[in-house]
Structure 1
Amino acid sequence: VMADSNKKVFDIFQSMEEGPSAASSAASAWLDHHSRSLGLFMDGKFVRPAGRQNISLSDSKGAKLCSIVCAEDEDISQCASSAASGYTSWSGLTCSQRSKVLLRLVGVLGLHGQCLSELCALSEASCSPSALVRLLQYYSSWAQLRDTLIPSWTSVGVVVVVSSDDCSLYSLMLKVLPAVAMGNSVIVVPGRSAAPPVLLLAQLFSGAGLPAGTLNILTGSDVTLGAKVSQNASVSYITYTGNKQDGLTLCKAAAGAGLPVSVSQCIGATCPFIIFESADIDSAVDEVIQIAFKKKKEVHWVLCVQESVAESLAARLKLRMASMKCVPLNSEGDRVLVEAAVKEAQQQGATLIQPCSAGPSVTQYPPTVLCGAAPSSPYVVSPPPGPLLPLLTFRSNTEAVALGNHSPHGHAASIWTEDLTLALETAKSLSVGLVWVNSSCVSDPCLPLHIYISDFMQGLYQFLRPSWSPVRPRSAPVAMDYSKFGTEPTQAVIPDDHRSVFNSFLQFVGGKACKSVSGCSVAVQAPGGGNVLGFCPDGGRKDVRNAVEAAIKAQPGWMKKSPSARAQSLYSLAKGLESKKKDVSASVSTQLGVSVEEADKEVELSVARLNVWAAYCDKLQGGSLPMPQSGAALSFPEALGVVGIILPDKYPLLSMVTVLGAAIATGNAVVMVPSQRFPLPALAFIQVLQSSDLPAGLVNIITGNPELLTVALANHSVIKAIWYWGRAEGCQYLQYSCTSPLKTLRLFCQKDEEASDAGADWTRTDASLLEDLWRNAVQWKSVWIPSA
């Protein structure tokens, strides 16, 4: 320090050298107390099982930090038992009692914040104690208000939270704390960087009064440990946050475990940084420099600049970067990837902005802007790790949105313009969950990073279930060949003249009643395998393809309609069903073998359900978020897109209109597959659709082998979500296959439904039934607009 005492302030700002690193005495003392060997945390204490493999962790400078234990099957069983016991204790407390415990954690964190901060810095799991304090304060209040503001919902049970090795502690705690606040116990399977600080937090939480077993930590060599934990019968839900590849690995490994799996990609996403000509260019350049060239960053930025200011912005970038130095890389292998990307960019005609040449060190590389990049270039779509910033240009607002949506990331975007109308229109059009206007990387639990694939109220509902919903029994994975699922041929029948006495039904695609592309039909039998009631089309992959193409054309226009216009269309649909009550009721009675009175009751319930969904259209539309800093934060629901639905056997008409209403009321288009056993009510409903004013292609109904049609829906890249009622094999297939691209799944095993009589829930009038469906039919977008 004395040697630098003669430096002037101007010199320091010119070089922007980092000061001496802060001491890590508190973190080192804690690690030394544990002999630099961290065990597992379960039942409120550290456990160090003998004979386990250990993994060595390094600090930010490459020196050995500590070692962690690789959990084995025996440890998983013990941890799950601890979590189940902890859930009994924690969920048994009142909302007020749980809230007081979480608030006590704020004080504990204040006492030991220095140790946590040092440990996060050493392990490169970025998270400030103040950010965690904000999380604790926020979710402690939700713990207090759960039964008041979220009535008729209860905790799901034991939740497994898994993260990748490169995930920050903050992103991990964004899943852990809401799960705990809602009354669940949690098993955390952290990545390597977050393991030491999350173990420290578990110890602090236990000391603050969190019941033993409520928070448990299992460490291991890779993300497959999370899949092993999910196989335990005590686990009710598994959620993942981190990079995409580990998330897909977890989905495939956990397929067939019989529990929901949610994935939030917070690492490696490609996010657009859009600068319009109306922006404050200097401020935008300052922000780009701050976020694009960090040593360790969770997202990759792509700079999109309007052509009229591209040259001026490039000149300012070059000036601002002139005094910058090489940025450390995470590994030697990253240098190879970065150099290959730069070489490819130059071969494609891109020019470089670099403050200096690449030095001899294989673990460093200079900040680099790749000007004139092509949107389809690999280094733009999937950038390598390192200080690279592709720069693309656009001419119009429409082209800017097209560039921003070029890669299906669904994460975040930053928009720079002084025109508020332009900012809001662009934010509305971008397929991302979080948009910062004239700012970036603003984080708060009110504004979670994963809201596009989560839900309103900050992901709380994923850790809750309706109180009336039975706990589904777990099932073991089925040994199956995924390549052969859905390939068994249907015993189709070619229509001929001597069977013309039977009814021949049509399916509904693109607004028209039609035969299947194959021209084949299948027989529909009376209940119990009795007489043949008629023949319905045997749909296949080409029918699904045609239906999806029609849905793609209809959905954008339907989504842009005002909520009141969609409501009127649904009211009209309900009126049309009521006018054809006699015909539809006859199909229900004939198909199910029930009395006319029972069939009339199901039709009446269906009419009422459509009216309820019509009323929903313009009632739940989001609003402002209570941010703790100056500015405005808006949140609003958006349609998923095209939804594939495989319908249940029970209440074939009522269940169909219930899920149909949820989907189209929120702006989605649907491709529905009726029950193979009881398709006639759905086919009779086609008459109602034909006389409605719904856009052609918005609703499509395809009959046939549900397994074959499930495969076709799963493999179609345009389908955004699949709601499935069917066999356990179908649920397992969808969890394993719907990963590229990742689809939102809502799965119900038909066998479980029959065993628990869950089909009776279709007749319920509880608000939580419709709310659960509605929240699964939308994705939420947040927009942050700073006021200063």
Structure 2
Amino acid sequence: MAGSTIKTVYDIFQSMDYGPTSSSTATAQAWLEHQSGALGLFIDGRFVLPAGRQTCSVTDSSGGSVCTTVCATDEDVSLSVSSGASGFKAWSALPCHVRAKTLLGLVSGLQRYGQCLSELCDLAQSPSSFSALVRLLQYYSGWAQLRDTLLPDWTPRGLVAVVVSDDCSLYSLMLKALPALAMGNTVVVIPGVETAIPALLLAQLFVEAGLPAGVLNVVTGNVLSLASTVAQNPLTSYVTYSGNKNDGEKLCRATAGMGVPVSLSISLGATCPFIIFESADIDSAVDGVIETAFKKKRECQWLLCVQESVLDIVVARLKSRMAGMKSVPLQKEGDRRLVDAAVEEAQQQGATLIQPCAPSPSGASYPPTVLCGMAPSCPCVVTPPPGPLLPLLSFRSQTEGVTLGNHSPHGYAASLWTEDLTLALEAAKGLSVGSVWVNSHSVLDPSLPLSGHKESSNCTDGGKEGLFQFLRPSSSSPSLPRSSPTSLDYSRFGTATSAAIIPQGPDSSSCPRSYLQYVGGKQCKSESGSSVSVLAPDGAVLAYCPDAGRKDVRNAVEAAIKVQPGWMKRSPTDRAQSLFTLAKALEMKRRDLAASLHSQTGLSLEEVDKEVELSIAQLYDWAARCDKETGGILPVPQSGSALSIPEALGVVGVVLPDSSPLLSMVSLLVAAVAMGNAVVMVPSPKNPLPALEFIQVLQSSDIPAGVVNILTGGRDQLTQALANHSVIKAIWYWGSVEGCQYLQHTCASPLKNLWLHCLEEKDGGRVWSQPPPSLLEERWRRAVQWKSVWIPTA
């Protein structure tokens, strides 16, 4: 009919937009009014509103005030920590099924007050999925039930501080707090501004569900200042942080030397690749791009990588799908300036834009924008600015696509799109990220381990693997004694020169032997050509060994990084066979090593024979473990399959203790190497000779050259060089209090996994000679990082 305005189904479908969401906040406003619009701290099972405190105003998306929260002082922190320490005695002593019942009881509370919680999250601009929180509670209540059955040799740490930055989500906070509670710890939560209100409501719901007073405390205010104060309290056992990298680095530096372990999970601001191969379902892939890249609030930045053969098709589909899209509100008013500057710079470097509309001259919103034709070195690719900007890069081969995905210094997650399962698994294995989503994106489940690689994390959250950061072996005491930070000049640490060696006399026959270090499969002198004296127990000069420095560390790391990828790709069975040959080579050299131990340490022949025998046993044990320690398929509620895969860290720096010089070296070396790592080892300056004698054992085995490197010299000097090398992923350290403080301060950037021990063992070395199963498992877990791969089936 002429002039008809009737639309076809196609017209309606093309013009459809997302439907309106419910904007009612009546329930949340009622709860806030019940609290008089001023939320206090949650300490010892109740709300506390101390007088005379500064307050912080929480605003909604329009800038209006939602309520005020208290800025806690040192006195408030002390009360919360004392309450948590008292609550730990009761909470940890409860039977597992009682703790599980308490956590599971919160599910009913969430179901009753879910609308209030959702509205509070929306008001505070921290939207969170109600179903995801329920899933978290159900999952970790199960682990609370099974802790003593499945983790019998582990014990809770004590009081745990859970810290999240201002722009972190409630899910990230609960992913830390719930497993800590499930394992029997008590928790002091320090939330950011956006998560403070829902965190306080959840604390109230926990107590209503039966959580004993003091088990969960919430203090609000300046996150970094409060976290530092909590860490300084001697009753605090562990600090874990989620949020952005800058605040994480500041927290590590502020808490260095306090004797409390600090772990970081850096997801905010991480750059994640979204890779579309030519075998992908292009329509589904483009829909996935639109859904994840142009959200109003997103924790990570996305980088679109498209194979050249389908680049034109993807660009055309993007233009079609983005037509008619509206501008996206920016998180902060100052973000608009950053977005405009990034777009202008990208255009100057030859980028073309895909936009549904022209941006307004000013304002706190910007249209979804794809930046086509970018180079990997462009600033907006390396560090994408906030806002709805999506850089697009192209690649030719599948290998190049994986290389492009690994270009970012972050290793949080990646999204792969292909209908070829073989390609998907190969690409997932090649990507240096903690989570890989195949034909999907942003899949979260507490059963999936989240172990960010590179600069994204130095701990694991989620799954069974994430529980161990809140546990320690029952047979060992904390490795870091509580103390106050020493006055340490970080710029001068490790710069002291070794004592000069002068001729002792004309008798050349009495001249001590000179040893060489081991780098890249060859014995060599130090780059400086200098040596240090090795003394016998009676004070006589026993030998000379190289005095290594920064250049030697650089050479050792270069040798290790060349061979480590190939060593890691070897099958576990092949690595096991190499370790078996190492054990046999050690057996053949046992007399020489026993003699070296005897002259170096002054121990009896019987004692050194026992240490050599235990070292041989360690090699055989870990050779047998190589193909036994594997991941598996995880049971998840969604349709599909999820794989949990342990992977090697890369290059590990190991600074050895003075006690049990051979056994400690073999125990740590074989744990790292068995899992596919390469190592740079620093023997004890006091007892280096067994490690140098061990070089002959390494040369007699078929361990590839460069997998094991041994450097001798000053402990502080080599520790400083290891800490500042960007390639080294982890440092295992036995040494001084100052050395531990230096590593905690320095290894936040570049981020490293730290395993620190300030003092020598007081048990006569039984930790090496008679390690319980939990200590052996801890060594294995320190040597791996986890990757989860999600493959949907529907």
Q: Tell me if both proteins adopt one fold, taking TM over 0.5 as the criterion.
A: yes
The answer for the alignment partner of 1:137 in structure 2 is: 138
Q: CA deviation at 1:498?
A: 5.3
Q: Secondary structure at the match of 2:257?
A: coil
Q: Which amino acid aligns with 1:506?
A: L
Which of the numbers 648, 657, 660 marks the counterpart of 1:648? Answer: 657
Cα 1:658/1:718, change in 2 over 3 Å: same
The answer for the alignment partner of 2:340 in structure 1 is: 339
CA distance in 1, matches of 2:459, 2:149: 22
1:460 and 2:467 correspond: yes
CA distance in 2, matches of 1:583, 1:174: 52
Q: Is the 8 A contact 1:99 1:143 kept in 2?
A: yes
CA distance in 2, matches of 1:767, 1:145: 18
CA distance in 2, matches of 1:584, 1:572: 17
CA distance in 1, matches of 2:54, 2:433: 41
For residues 199-225 of structure 1, the C-alpha deviation after alignment (integer angstroms, 9 at most, x for no partner) is: 000010011100111111111123232
CA distance in 1, matches of 2:482, 2:339: 46
Equivalences for residues 215-614 of structure 1 within 5 A: 215-450=216-451, 452=453, 453-455=458-460, 457-472=464-479, 473-493=481-501, 501-527=511-537, 530-614=539-623
1:769 and 2:780 correspond: no
Q: CA deviation at 1:477?
A: 0.7
The answer for the alignment partner of 1:198 in structure 2 is: 199
The answer for the alignment partner of 2:3 in structure 1 is: none
The answer for the alignment partner of 2:76 in structure 1 is: 75
Q: Is the 8 A contact 1:492 1:538 kept in 2?
A: no
CA distance in 1, matches of 2:576, 2:32: 61
Q: Is the 8 A contact 2:100 2:145 kept in 1?
A: yes
The answer for the alignment partner of 2:106 in structure 1 is: 105
Q: Which amino acid aligns with 1:454?
A: C
CA distance in 2, matches of 1:8, 1:457: 53
CA distance in 2, matches of 1:179, 1:168: 18
For residues 646-704 of structure 1, the C-alpha deviation after alignment (integer angstroms, 9 at most, x for no partner) is: 00111111110000011000000000000011111111111111111111111011010
Cα 1:20/1:187, change in 2 over 3 Å: closer
Q: CA deviation at 1:357?
A: 0.5
Q: CA deviation at 1:492?
A: 3.4
Q: CA deviation at 1:7?
A: 11
Which of the numbers 610, 631, 656 marks the counterpart of 2:640? Answer: 631
Q: Secondary structure at the match of 1:223?
A: helix
CA distance in 2, matches of 1:224, 1:599: 50
Q: Is the 8 A contact 1:161 1:240 kept in 2?
A: yes
CA distance in 2, matches of 1:253, 1:492: 37
Q: CA deviation at 1:359?
A: 1.3
Q: CA deviation at 1:152?
A: 0.5
CA distance in 2, matches of 1:445, 1:670: 32
CA distance in 2, matches of 1:121, 1:448: 28
Q: CA deviation at 1:760?
A: 2.2
For residues 519-578 of structure 1, the C-alpha deviation after alignment (integer angstroms, 9 at most, x for no partner) is: 111111122x52111111111111111111110111111111110110011111111111
> Does 584-593 or 220-229 show the bigger shift?
220-229
Q: Secondary structure at the match of 1:471?
A: coil
CA distance in 2, matches of 1:471, 1:397: 46
1:685 and 2:694 correspond: yes
The answer for the alignment partner of 1:782 in structure 2 is: 788
CA distance in 2, matches of 1:617, 1:191: 42
Q: Is the 8 A contact 1:15 1:324 kept in 2?
A: no
For residues 706-763 of structure 1, the C-alpha deviation after alignment (integer angstroms, 9 at most, x for no partner) is: 100001001111111101000010001011111222111111002xx34x43732111
Q: Which amino acid aligns with 1:598?
A: E
Q: Which amino acid aligns with 1:192?
A: V
Q: Secondary structure at the match of 1:65?
A: strand
CA distance in 1, matches of 2:357, 2:175: 39
Cα 1:495/1:238, change in 2 over 3 Å: farther
> Does 106-115 or 340-349 show the bigger shift?
106-115
Q: Is the 8 A contact 1:714 1:737 kept in 2?
A: yes
CA distance in 2, matches of 1:709, 1:449: 32
| Aligned residues with identical type, % of pairs | 65
> Does 54-63 or 668-677 show the bigger shift?
54-63
For residues 113-151 of structure 1, the C-alpha deviation after alignment (integer angstroms, 9 at most, x for no partner) is: 111011111112221221111000000000111111112
Q: CA deviation at 1:629?
A: 1.4
Q: Secondary structure at the match of 2:175?
A: helix
What root-mean-square deviation, in Å, do the aligned CA atoms of Structure 1 and Structure 2 show? 1.6
Cα 1:274/1:81, change in 2 over 3 Å: same
CA distance in 2, matches of 1:296, 1:242: 14
CA distance in 1, matches of 2:543, 2:114: 72
The answer for the alignment partner of 1:759 in structure 2 is: 765
> Does 660-669 or 15-24 show the bigger shift?
15-24
CA distance in 2, matches of 1:746, 1:670: 14
The answer for the alignment partner of 1:16 in structure 2 is: 17
Which of the numbers 742, 750, 766 marks the counterpart of 2:751? Answer: 742
Q: CA deviation at 1:360?
A: 3.7
CA distance in 2, matches of 1:647, 1:8: 75
The answer for the alignment partner of 1:163 in structure 2 is: 164
Q: Which amino acid aligns with 2:681?
A: M
The answer for the alignment partner of 1:3 in structure 2 is: none
Which of the numbers 717, 725, 747 marks the counterpart of 2:734? Answer: 725
For residues 326-383 of structure 1, the C-alpha deviation after alignment (integer angstroms, 9 at most, x for no partner) is: 1101122100000000000000000000000111441011000000111111111111
Q: Which amino acid aligns with 1:457?
A: K
Q: Is the 8 A contact 1:494 1:521 kept in 2?
A: no
CA distance in 2, matches of 1:717, 1:392: 26
1:706 and 2:715 correspond: yes
CA distance in 2, matches of 1:499, 1:38: 80
Q: Secondary structure at the match of 2:193?
A: coil
CA distance in 2, matches of 1:338, 1:21: 30
Q: Secondary structure at the match of 1:137?
A: helix
The answer for the alignment partner of 1:86 in structure 2 is: 87
Q: Is the 8 A contact 2:654 2:679 kept in 1?
A: yes
> Does 757-766 or 492-501 show the bigger shift?
492-501
Q: CA deviation at 1:493?
A: 2.0
Q: Which amino acid aligns with 1:467?
A: S
CA distance in 2, matches of 1:494, 1:14: 87
User: Which runs of no fewer than 5 residues in structure 2 stay unpaired?
Assistant: 1-5
Cα 1:7/1:465, change in 2 over 3 Å: farther
CA distance in 2, matches of 1:327, 1:398: 35
> Does 758-767 or 722-731 show the bigger shift?
758-767
Q: Is the 8 A contact 1:266 1:450 kept in 2?
A: no
CA distance in 1, matches of 2:350, 2:740: 48
> Does 213-222 or 611-620 show the bigger shift?
213-222
User: Which runs of no fewer than 5 residues in structure 1 stay unpaired?
Assistant: 1-5
CA distance in 2, matches of 1:745, 1:261: 9
Q: Is the 8 A contact 2:685 2:715 kept in 1?
A: yes
CA distance in 2, matches of 1:56, 1:42: 21
Q: Is the 8 A contact 1:136 1:177 kept in 2?
A: yes
TM-score (norm 2): 0.96
Q: CA deviation at 1:494?
A: 6.4
CA distance in 2, matches of 1:686, 1:513: 8
